[in-house]
């Protein structure tokens, strides 16, 4: 009987654990390898960065003409336009000229578009009452930060928005 | 530039010799159509080359970006056969071809070609269809005896350099012709056609031009269009209930009716001298990313290793089970 037992000795536990580890490792590689492209497929493709900025457009998607804009608006006004990433962006008119900055109209609280209040010279958010000064600096909550700046340059008869470089001039 | 110049010289030479076009002319397609491939997929050569004959094509299954590869177009026909030429005499067939590559693919320059490709294309003048369509290649006419197979050296685009090109499976459309066409660019029939009776009636007279138009009676001479004013042109007069109808048959096709025969309208009065024909084929061509193949091989290797390990684990479990039963 003892001879039969020695013939069918089971593999020791260490050998079983080693093979389990090798097997689970390789199964893991295959599963991860198959899932990686699937997960990547569901992540939206990036729109691609426009390094040189974007021409400001009106609500219909037509480029805004600066000469027409200045002729039809008061010397101090904020005009909504389509800006970077499709965000509504204010063209800032100061002293009858387009300022070198624009303001992203998305409220920094929960993302409502902030309207310009001509009488009070303020941006007042209709959703939760946040208020911003004429240059976009937050003066009343619950909004945590000032309106985002974008750089605005006059390019021929159009306004060109590009990402704001450098420090925020509204910090005191 | 040199190649275009050569083609232009060849064209001038052919036209200058006064001979009427003798064979397949891809230039006619270039002159008349912006795109040689119609919306239905028909290649416009078939508008004038009315007979169908097989075309063979050899396109690689997949190419990598920037690769210089070869597309072979086979234009087989019975080399012992001869076609009628414009003056009615017999002669060899010419061949021509058009290759519609996917957007972004283009003809290889002399410097890019391999030594083998340079030898194979030494006698062929391959030109892009137009400046707007460098991906469509034309060749011909070439003597068919030496060019049963035409080689196109092609360069694949690189999606990294040209964002409008993607890695994917494309279609290549190939058309090839041998022998003269049936319609001239101005719409008139060439002599490489079957001629048919213009009316139901009886053939009463055959007048043949010998060398000069003046042998014919004036009323028949005025019927012969200038391109048929050749020795051997026949004017057939049919008498029908509505009067005399005349048919001008240029030299080349042989008459199958004799004076006194009765014919019905539309019956052929000549044999069909056409021994050539046009054929088109479509082939798949994959623009393959080498990275994709590398990762596929790696993934397949991982699967193979996993399967081997699964079987080994099963063997180990079998040993444990045997020990439990017998031990």
Nearest to A23 among B303, B310, B320 (CB): B310
B244 with B286, same domain: the answer is no
Half-sphere exposure of B83 (CA within 13 A, CB side): 27
For chain B, list residues with pLDDT below 70: 1-24, 212-215, 327
- A127 annotated among ligand-binding-site residues: no
Q: From CA B136, how far away is CA B44, in angstroms rounded?
A: 13
Same domain, B154 and B75: yes
B9 is in an annotated binding site: no
**Contact check, Cβ <8 Å, B313/A19:** yes
The number of domains in chain B is: 2
pLDDT at A75 over 70: yes
Residue B256 lies in a domain: yes
Nearest CB to A33 within list B302, B310, B324: B302
- Whether B311 is in a domain gets the answer no
Interface residue A5 vs chain B (CB under 8 A): yes
Question: Is B319's CB within 8 Å of A10's CB?
Answer: yes
What residue ranges do the domains of chain A occupy? 13-44, 54-163
Q: Which position has the higher pLDDT, B42 or A169?
A: B42
Is there a binding annotation on residue B245?
no
B6 falls within a domain: no
Whether B57 contacts B152, CB under 8 Å = no
pLDDT score of B215: 67
Which chain A residue shows the shortest CA-CA distance from B314? A19
Sort residue B135 into left (φ over 0), alpha (ψ -120 to 50) or beta.
Answer: alpha
**Please, which residues have CB within 8 angstroms of residue A27's CB and are 6 or more apart in sequence?**
B306
- What mean pLDDT, rounded, does chain A reach? 85
- Kindly state whether residues B118 and B48 are assigned to the same domain: yes
**Tokens coding A3:** 């001879």
> Has residue B258 been placed in a domain?
yes
pTM (2 d.p.) = 0.78
B243: CB partners within 8 A, 6+ apart: none
Q: Is A32 on the interface with B (CB under 8 A)?
A: no
On whether both B29 and B178 belong to a single domain, the answer is: yes
User: Of A145, A116, A111, which is closest to residue A128 (Cα–Cα)?
Assistant: A111
If you write DSSP's letter for every residue of chain A in order, what string do you get?
A: -HHHHHHTPPPPHHHHHHHHHHHHHHHHHHHHHHHHHHHHHHSPPP----TT-EE-B-TTSPBPPHHHHHHHS-SSEEEEEE-GGG-EEEEEEETTEEEEEEEE-B-TTT-PBPPEETTTTEEE-TTT--EE-TTS-EEESS--SPPPEEEEEEETTEEEEEEPPS--TT--
Which residues of A are less than 8 Å from B313 in CB distance? 19-20, 23
CA angle B146, B147, B152 (to 5 degrees): 140
Please tell me whether residues B23 and B144 are part of one structural domain.
yes
Q: SS3 string of chain B?
A: CHHHHHHHHHHHHHHHCCCCCCCCCHHHHHHHCCCCECCCCCEHHHHCCCCECCCEEECCCEECCCCEEEEEEECCCCCCCCEECCCCCEECCEEEEEEECCCCCEECCCCCCCHHHHHHCCCCCCEEEECCEEEEEEEEEEECCCCCEEEEEEECCCCCCCCCCCCCEEEEEEEEEECCCCECCCCCECCCCCCECCCCEEEEEEEECCCCHHHCCHHHHCCCCHHHCCCCCEEEEEEECCEEEEEEECCCCCECCCCCCEECCCCECECCCCCCEEEEEEEEEEECCHHHHHHHHHHHHHHHHHHHHHHHHHHHHHHHHHHHHHC
Q: How far is B104 from chain A (nearest CA, A)?
A: 22
> How far is residue A16 from each of residues A19, A132, B30, B320, B324, measured CA to CA in Å?
5, 68, 74, 10, 15
Q: Write down the pLDDT at residue B30.
A: 84
Tens-digit pLDDT profile for residues B87-144: 888 989 999 999 999 999 999 998 998 888 888 888 888 889 988 889 999 997 888 8
B45 marked as binding residue: yes
Cβ B319–A19 below 8 Å, yes or no?
no
Q: Which of A8, A22, A27 comes nearest B322 by C-beta? A: A8
Q: Could A30 and B327 be called an inter-chain contact, meaning their C-beta atoms sit closer than 8 Å? A: no
Is A16 within 8 Å of chain B by CB? yes
CB B302 within 8 A of CB A33: yes
Tell me, what's the pLDDT at B149? 92
For residue A52, the model assigns a pLDDT of 66
Same domain, B42 and B130: yes
Average pLDDT over residues A121-135: 90
Phi, psi of B94 (to 5 degrees): -105, 160
| Separation between Cα atoms, residue B258 and residue B206, nearest integer Å | 8
B163 and B60 inside one domain: yes
Suggest the residue from B300, B310, B313 to mutate for an interface test with chain A (most A CBs closer than 10 A).
Answer: B313
Tell whether omega for the bond before A142 is within 30 degrees of 0, i.e. cis.
yes
Domain of residue B236, CATH code = 2.40.50.100
Residues B82 and B170 in one domain: yes
Residues B32 and B124 in one domain: yes
pLDDT at A5 over 80: no
Partners of B183 in the beta sheet?
B189
Say if residue A84 is exposed, middle or buried (CB neighbours under 10 Å; 0-12, 13-18, 19+). buried
Closest CB from B305, B313, B320 relative to A10: B320
User: CB–CB of B316 and A11 under 8 A?
Assistant: yes
pLDDT on residue B4: 57
A26–B306 CB contact, under 8 Å: yes
Per the domain annotation, does B3 fall within a domain? no
Q: Which of B180, B176, B202, B183 is nearest to B264 (CA)?
A: B202
User: Both B114 and B235 in a single domain?
Assistant: no
How many contacts, defined by CB atoms under 8 Å, are there between A and B? Answer: 49
Residues B97 and B173 in one domain: yes
Q: CATH number of the domain at A54-163, out of 2.130.10.30, 2.102.10.10, 2.70.210.12, 3.40.630.30?
A: 2.102.10.10
Q: Which structural domain range is residue B129 located in? A: 19-185+275-290
Distance of alpha carbon B134 from alpha carbon B142, whole angstroms: 21
Does A110 contact B at CB distance below 8 Å? no
Q: Closest CB to B312: pick one of A9, A19, A34.
A: A19
**CATH code for the domain of B81:** 2.60.40.830
Q: Based on the domain organization, do B94 and B115 belong to the same domain?
A: yes
Q: Is the pLDDT of residue A2 over 50?
A: no
């Amino acid at each position: 009987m003892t001879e039969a037992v020695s013939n069918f000795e089971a593999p020791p536990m260490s050998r079983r654990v080693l093979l389990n580890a090798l097997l689970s490792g390789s199964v893991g590689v295959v599963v991860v390898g198959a899932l990686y492209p699937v997960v990547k497929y569901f992540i939206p493709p990036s729109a691609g960065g426009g390094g040189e900025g974007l021409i400001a457009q009106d609500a219909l998607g037509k480029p805004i003409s600066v000469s027409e804009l200045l002729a039809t608006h008061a010397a101090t006004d904020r005009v909504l336009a389509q800006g970077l990433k499709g965000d509504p962006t204010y063209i800032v008119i100061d002293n009858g000229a387009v300022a070198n900055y624009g303001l992203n109209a998305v409220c920094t609280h929960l993302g409502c578009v902030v309207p310009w209040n001509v009488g009070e010279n303020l941006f007042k958010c209709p959703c939760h009452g946040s208020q911003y000064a004429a240059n976009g600096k937050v003066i009343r909550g619950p909004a945590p930060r000032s309106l985002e700046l974008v750089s605005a340059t006059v390019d021929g008869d159009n306004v060109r928005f590009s990402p704001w470089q450098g420090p925020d001039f509204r910090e005191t | 530039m040199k190649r275009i110049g050569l083609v232009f010289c060849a064209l001038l030479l052919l036209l200058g010799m006064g001979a009427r076009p003798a064979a397949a002319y891809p230039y006619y397609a270039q002159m008349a159509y912006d795109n040689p491939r119609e919306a239905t997929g028909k290649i416009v050569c078939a508008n004038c080359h009315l007979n169908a004959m097989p075309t063979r094509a050899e396109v690689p299954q997949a190419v990598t970006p920037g690769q210089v590869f070869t597309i072979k177009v086979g234009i087989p026909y019975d080399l012992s056969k001869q076609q009628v030429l414009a003056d009615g005499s017999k002669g060899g067939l010419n061949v021509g071809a058009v290759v519609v590559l996917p957007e972004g693919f283009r003809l290889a320059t002399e410097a890019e070609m391999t030594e083998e490709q340079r030898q194979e294309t030494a006698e062929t003048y391959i030109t892009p269809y137009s400046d707007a369509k460098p991906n469509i290649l034309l060749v011909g006419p070439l003597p068919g005896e030496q060019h049963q197979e035409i080689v196109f050296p092609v360069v694949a685009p690189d999606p990294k350099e040209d964002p409008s090109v993607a890695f994917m499976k494309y279609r290549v459309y190939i058309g090839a012709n041998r022998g003269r066409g049936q319609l001239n660019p101005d719409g008139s029939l060439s002599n490489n056609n079957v001629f048919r009776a213009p009316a139901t009636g009886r053939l009463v007279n055959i007048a043949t031009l010998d060398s000069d138009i003046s042998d014919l009676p004036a009323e028949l001479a005025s019927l012969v269009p200038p391109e048929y004013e050749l020795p051997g042109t026949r004017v057939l007069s049919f008498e029908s209930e509505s009067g005399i109808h005349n048919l001008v048959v240029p030299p080349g096709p042989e008459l199958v009716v004799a004076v006194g025969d009765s014919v019905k309208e539309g019956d052929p009065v000549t044999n069909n001298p056409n021994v050539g024909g046009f054929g088109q084929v479509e082939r798949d061509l994959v623009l393959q990313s080498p990275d994709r193949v590398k990762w596929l091989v790696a993934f397949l290797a991982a699967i193979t290793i996993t399967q081997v390990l699964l079987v080994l684990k099963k063997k180990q479990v079998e040993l444990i089970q045997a020990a439990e039963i017998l031990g």
